[in-house]
Structure 1
Amino acid sequence: MTDVINQPFPPTYLAIDQATQSHGFTMPSDPLTCSLLRTLAASKPAGRLLELGTGTGLSTAWILDGMDADSTLVSVDYDGQVLAIAHTYLGDDQRLSLVEADGEAWVTGNAGARFDYIFADTWHGKYLLLNEVLAMLNPGGLYIVDDMLPQPNWPEGHAEKAIRFVEDLEKRPDLLLTKQHWATGIIVAVKR
């Protein structure tokens, strides 16, 4: 196996990628990570999926590509400019709800919501409000995070924060983890 993706990209991916580069957005999800997100989304037929940190919609496109017609995806981002790119290319998909909101406000305002799949690609749900977001995950649900290997855009002190986060996840009896030293560093957990 190689790091080359030998499968088709979602139909909207290349256009979103071009718009992402034109906009100057520098934190897109890695295509290897996105491919895994698509496969994991397919494991949740008629599932309720959540993405925290839409960005421009690159990972969103892959998640949607794996979902069946009866699944739904709520994708949240605070930055209306990058979210506009996702709206342009993905906004017509009836399975998708794109939400412009502060992560903390959205999580606390939707505390009763339950999901079968959560991709936490921002601080909220990863480094902030972890307990609250994991409380939204149904038993058997997937919790996925990326960027656990050192990244060039990490601010000073972030490596220590990532180490503490992983240690916190490892201590949780309600999660079964797989830590992958692959792509940007991925953790996939299942809620018991």
Structure 2
Amino acid sequence: MTDSEGGPHPPTASPGSALIDYAESAIVEDDALLAARVRADELGAAAVAPAVGALLALLARTCDAHAVVEIGTGVGVSGLWLLNGMAADGVLTTIDPEPEHHRAARQSFAGADIAPGRTRLINGTPRDVLPRLADESYDLVFVDGPLIDHPRHVTEAIRMLRPGGVVVVHNATADGAVADPARTDPPVAAAREAALLIADDERLLPVVIPLGAGVLAATKAR
């Protein structure tokens, strides 16, 4: 395409990408979160986008979360956002197999003046830890980590959720690949399976939210 003087039009962003850019730019993170992001960069640990973090805080506050499980601690970025939305006496149980991540997360929580009793960091694989957590005892479960594990983790999350609780799945779209029928590789297939587990459960009311890498959230019937 050309402009009125015959030159090429400058590229323009699609309306969808412009909205996502705006959603991200609208979130201002405090010093504790910014410091946690520096730790994430140093360790090469993935962290949720600011808008996804803000969504986690909103959902935690909406369901008056007192007990939350996070699958995939990272360096504490998503944990800080969850704690920001949780009740003042709420406890975050966060699971990660990497001791280095937990050390960094403790620094992140301390930097935000989070009382030690408000976090329970479990160093272990979710496969081993989740079955030991009680049925219908948690207000929110945040599923992060490798896509290939999402179906197993979603199944456990649904079991652990109390009525009225919320499950949140990060990167539920596999970076958009779930919409491409040609993509049948195991991680993408696992993302589709996790989404179907939620869609087929009549107790759950789901929605896909196009923030960050794509978020699938669902609330459990009371």
TM-score under structure 1 length normalisation = 0.87
Q: CA deviation at 1:4?
A: 3.1
Structure 2 distance, partners of 1:109, 1:125, is: 17
Deviation digits for residues 39-62 of structure 1 (CA, Å, limit 9, x no counterpart): 111123362111111111110111
Mapping of residues 155-170 of structure 1, within 5 Å:
156-170=185-199
Deviation digits for residues 7-55 of structure 1 (CA, Å, limit 9, x no counterpart): 4314411111111111222x22222111100111112336211111111
Q: CA deviation at 1:112?
A: 4.2
What amino acid does structure 1 have at the position aligned with 2:70? E
- Larger helix fraction of residues: 2
Structure 2 distance, partners of 1:7, 1:161, is: 31
Q: CA deviation at 1:159?
A: 1.4
Q: Which runs of 4+ in 1 moved over 3 A?
A: none
The answer to whether the Cα contact below 8 Å between 1:119 and 1:143 also exists between their aligned partners in 2 is yes
How has the CA–CA distance of structure 1 residues 51 and 135 changed in structure 2, closer, same or farther, with 3 Å as cutoff?
A: same
Deviation digits for residues 78-114 of structure 1 (CA, Å, limit 9, x no counterpart): 1111121001121552311111121111112224461
Q: CA deviation at 1:164?
A: 2.1
The residue number in structure 1 matching 2:211 is: 182
Matched, 1:32 2:56: no
Pairing partner for 1:144 from 168, 175, 179 = 168
The answer to whether the Cα contact below 8 Å between 1:45 and 1:70 also exists between their aligned partners in 2 is no
The answer to whether the Cα contact below 8 Å between 2:39 and 2:104 also exists between their aligned partners in 1 is yes
Matched, 1:52 2:71: yes
The answer to whether the Cα contact below 8 Å between 2:92 and 2:120 also exists between their aligned partners in 1 is yes
Classify the secondary structure of the residue corresponding to 1:28: coil
How has the CA–CA distance of structure 1 residues 160 and 180 changed in structure 2, closer, same or farther, with 3 Å as cutoff?
A: same
Deviation digits for residues 153-180 of structure 1 (CA, Å, limit 9, x no counterpart): xxx4311221222122111111110112
Mapping of residues 68-79 of structure 1, within 5 Å:
68-79=87-98
Structure 1 distance, partners of 2:186, 2:125, is: 23
Structure 2 distance, partners of 1:53, 1:5, is: 25
Structure 1 distance, partners of 2:62, 2:41, is: 31
The residue number in structure 1 matching 2:180 is: none
What amino acid does structure 2 have at the position aligned with 1:138? R
The residue number in structure 2 matching 1:18 is: 38
Q: Identify unmatched segments of 5+ residues in structure 1.
A: none
The answer to whether the Cα contact below 8 Å between 1:47 and 1:116 also exists between their aligned partners in 2 is yes
User: Percent same amino acid among aligned pairs?
Assistant: 23
Q: CA deviation at 1:122?
A: 2.7
The residue number in structure 2 matching 1:83 is: 102
Q: More deviation in 178-187 or 120-129? A: 120-129
The answer to whether the Cα contact below 8 Å between 1:111 and 1:132 also exists between their aligned partners in 2 is no
What amino acid does structure 2 have at the position aligned with 1:147? N
Aligned residue pairs: how many? 189
Classify the secondary structure of the residue corresponding to 1:56: coil
Pairing partner for 2:154 from 125, 130, 146 = 130
What amino acid does structure 1 have at the position aligned with 2:171? D
Classify the secondary structure of the residue corresponding to 1:69: coil
The answer to whether the Cα contact below 8 Å between 2:67 and 2:138 also exists between their aligned partners in 1 is yes
Structure 2 distance, partners of 1:186, 1:129, is: 15
What amino acid does structure 1 have at the position aligned with 2:28? P
